Chains A and B, each alone.
Chain A
Amino acid sequence: MDSNNLFLVLGALIFVVGATGVLLRRNALIIFMCVEMMLNSVNLSLITLSRMWGNLEGQIFVFVIMAVAAAEVAIGLAILIAHNRHVRNINIETLNLLRN
């Protein structure tokens, strides 16, 4: 297996770890970090694919994803703080006001 495929497998593994973390963890901040991990695994895959194809589109896509992830961080942390002001806790078990 050449190194490109190894990077793709690594990217897929990190993605799975991130997605599992989102589903299993209970702390909103950790979930948020897991989402970032998913996005960064996509970045790794894109860079590898870009090298395999020998064009730059994948690398430009990585910059787009990084910019969007930065915007997401700003918004996510702001919302976390707003929620924390209400309940003094960021465990997602506290998201229990709205349900059937």
Chain B
Amino acid sequence: MNLNYSAILPEMVMAGGAIVVLMVDALRRIENHRGDAANRGSGLLLTLSLIVAAGSTVAAFAVRGESGLMFQDSARSDALSFGIRLIVLATTILVLLVGSRYVSTFTRYPGEYYSLLLLSATGMMAMGIASDLMVLFIALETFSLSLILLAGMYRHNRSSTEASLKYFLLGAFASGFFVYGSALIYGVTGTVLFAGMGPALQVAADGGPGAVLLWAGIALLLVGFGFKLSLVPFHMWTPDVYQGAPTSVTAFMSVGTKTAMFGALVRIFLMTFPYGFENWTGPLIVLAVLTMTVGNVTALCQTSIKRMLGYSGIAHAGYVLAGLVPGTETAVNSALFYLFAYAFMNIGAFIIVMAIEHSVETDVERSQLRGTGAAMPVLAGFMALFLFSLSGIPPLAGFFGKFLIFRSILDGGLAWLAAVVVVNSAVSAYYYLRIVVTMYFQQRPQEVHAPQSSPAMQVGMVLAGVMVLAIGVFPAFFMGLLTVPGL
């Protein structure tokens, strides 16, 4: 019995916080049951959620030293789980900072929004500690189901419910594959614990009994991962869901889902199934190349900024997957660093989209950005910063992320794959910089409404901007923070 509760303190704080937020919301609604007061006190909920997320971050640092297996080997706390927690918490805090005024534009139930956001983050963090097929499945569903509800939070908007339904149908389909893959792996090894799988996996990977079942199980797991990570050819839902969901939710899921799924991918494929991993580099390379290329090429012809960021998010998943292909310690570290950098630059870009969009539309066309450089210099300046970082221009965060991935691929001896990454980066620079051109060098149309950024949103924007610069200027510090020693 090793019930090491202190090691999962960050998750417990988040889950408990989600319940407290829900209760406070219920009390708040009893207090002011008149319809016009629906949003009174929602600032309190926001503050509470921020305190919970900050508390969880403090807890994550406090229990950083706790490492090893716990809860009858079904969970593992180590440097990888710390990295996942850190990225997910940074994402959560940035998305919370969007503020209660933005949330009130799409839902009358802010309490449910905040608690679902915290619950979803709990699931994502749990993906990093899961060391058992069952825990992994529960964590996966905890964050997926919360995200599905969040995507449909703008109930009176048809796009939002449509996004939610699409996400739900495909997500449930993907879960089916994931769980069938888990069942087959249980069939081969006779255990759901990653720690106990080693010997049986070794036998099966060497072509012993169960080899077919093992490969079938891993292939099915990969399909499940492919859907959730929006790898091509399982990506069709991504742009639609990103476009239809409320923008704060899009920002949260674009980074959070990727982080959680990559954490689990590393945990399963590099730490648990290292036997015969070289058999899987082929399919992984194909997936990575397809994902980057299709994502970038499709992003070129998008006029909606949210769709464009959706397709470019697919491409970024491709870069991270390509960085993981060598399967080494460097590979894992570079992927984690990239995701950390991606969290700040991508959510930063989404915060600007939220400041500019009309409340009823929850989407921004590229033409709406014309002339913003002169009209809203601060917003446009930050947007340019995030876009430069996303396209990988030094000395910003995105550049070092790409550089590390590039180095990890080269260390793995895959020069041509590194070349594909570079070409793809160049393609992506075209559509990112085109937005900058639109902002600064095109005439402003007559009727442009003022941006609706709240003070909280400005804090979030500045925080993301400062972090994008800091990660770019002091990469060594953040690399030290996110290093996973050994596999």
Contact = CB atoms under 8 A, between A and B. Distances in A.
Contact of A72 (B145, B161, B192, B307): B145
Given A49-B187, A75-B149, 12 more contacts: A32-B169, A32-B172, A38-B176, A42-B180, A61-B133, A61-B182, A64-B134, A71-B141, A86-B158, A97-B244, A98-B166, A100-B307
Contacts of A64: 134, 137-138
Contacts of B141: 68, 71-72
A28 interface: yes
* Among all A-B residue pairs, the 9 with the closest Cβ atoms: A38-B176, A98-B240, A53-B190, A49-B187, A86-B158, A35-B172, A82-B161, A68-B141, A83-B161
A50 B186 CA distance: 9
Could you tell me the dominant secondary structure of chain B's interface residues? helix
Interface string B269-310: 000000000000000000000000000001001100001000
B168 A39 contact: no
A19 B169 CA distance: 12
B134 A76 contact: no
Nearest to A74: B145
A80 to B, nearest CB: 7
Given A86-B158, A95-B162, A98-B162, A60 B134 contact: yes
Contacts of A46: 183, 186
Nearest to B241: A98
Given A57-B192, A98-B163, A82 B152 contact: yes
Given A82-B155, A98-B240, A98-B243, A61 B169 contact: no
B24 interface: no
Contacts of A83: 158, 161-162, 164-165
Contact of A42 (B165, B168, B183, B307): B183
Interface string B124-165: 000000000110011001000100110010010011011111
A86 B148 contact: no
B190 A76 contact: no
A28 to B, nearest CB: 7
A57 B186 contact: yes
Given A42-B179, A49-B186, A86 B161 contact: yes
Contacts of A71: 141, 145
A10 to B, nearest CB: 14
6 contacts: A28-B165, A32-B172, A71-B145, A72-B141, A98-B159, A98-B239
B164 A39 contact: no
A79 interface: yes
A95 B163 CA distance: 8
B478 interface: no
B123 to A, nearest CB: 12
Contacts of B187: 8, 45, 49, 52
A79 B191 CA distance: 36
Chain B interface residue number, banded:
35 or more
B430 interface: no
| Most A C-beta atoms less than 10 A away, residue of B155, B298, B302, B307 | B155
B173 A68 contact: no
A79 B164 contact: yes
B112 to A, nearest CB: 12
Interface string A70-100: 0110011001101100110000100101111
Contacts of B168: 75-76, 79
Nearest to A80: B165
Contacts of A98: 159, 162-163, 166, 239-240, 243-244
A71 B240 CA distance: 24
Nearest to B132: A57
A15 B240 contact: no
Nearest to A48: B187
Contact of B169 (A60, A92, A99): A92
A89 to B, nearest CB: 12
Interface in B171-213: 172-173, 175-177, 179-180, 182-184, 186-187, 190-192
A91 B428 CA distance: 36
A66 B161 CA distance: 26
B155 A61 contact: no
A89 B480 CA distance: 54
A82 B429 CA distance: 39
A76 B244 contact: no
A55 B145 CA distance: 30
B244 A79 contact: no
Contact of B161 (A19, A49, A79): A79
Contacts of A80: 165
A99 B145 contact: no
Contacts of B166: 95, 98
B176 A55 contact: no
Interface string A20-44: 0010000010011001001101100
B165 A19 contact: no
A95 B165 contact: yes
Contacts of B307: 100
